[in-house]
Amino acid sequence: MSWLPKSPKARRRLWVVAAVAPVLALAVGLSLYAMRDNVTFFFSPSEATADRAPSGRVVRLGGLVETGSVTRGGGGEVAFAVTDNVATTRVVYQGDLPDLFREGQGIVAQGAFLPDRSFRATQVLAKHDENYMPREVAERLKAKGEWRPDGAPASGMPPS
8 A C-beta contact, residue 94 and residue 76 = yes
pLDDT digits over 22-47, tens only?
Answer: 999 999 999 988 887 777 788 889 88
Residue 72 shares a structural domain with residue 135 = yes
Across the range 129-148, mean pLDDT stands at 68
Per-residue model confidence (pLDDT) at position 149: 59
Domain count, the chain: 2
Across the range 126-143, mean pLDDT stands at 68
The CATH number of the domain where 99 resides is what?
Answer: 2.40.50.140
Contact residues for 147 (Cβ-Cβ < 8 A; gap 6+)? 138, 141, 154
Residue 28 shares a structural domain with residue 74 = no
CA 111, CA 89: separation in Å to the nearest integer? 13
The DSSP bridge partners found for residue 93 are 78, 121
- H or E segment to which residue 142 belongs: helix 135-143
More confident of the two residues 129 and 81: 81
Instruction: Examine residue 56 and state whether it is found in any structural domain, yes or no.
Output: yes
pLDDT digits over 85-113, tens only?
Answer: 889 999 999 998 988 888 888 899 999 99
- H or E segment to which residue 135 belongs: helix 135-143
Q: Is residue 159 scored above 50 in pLDDT? A: no
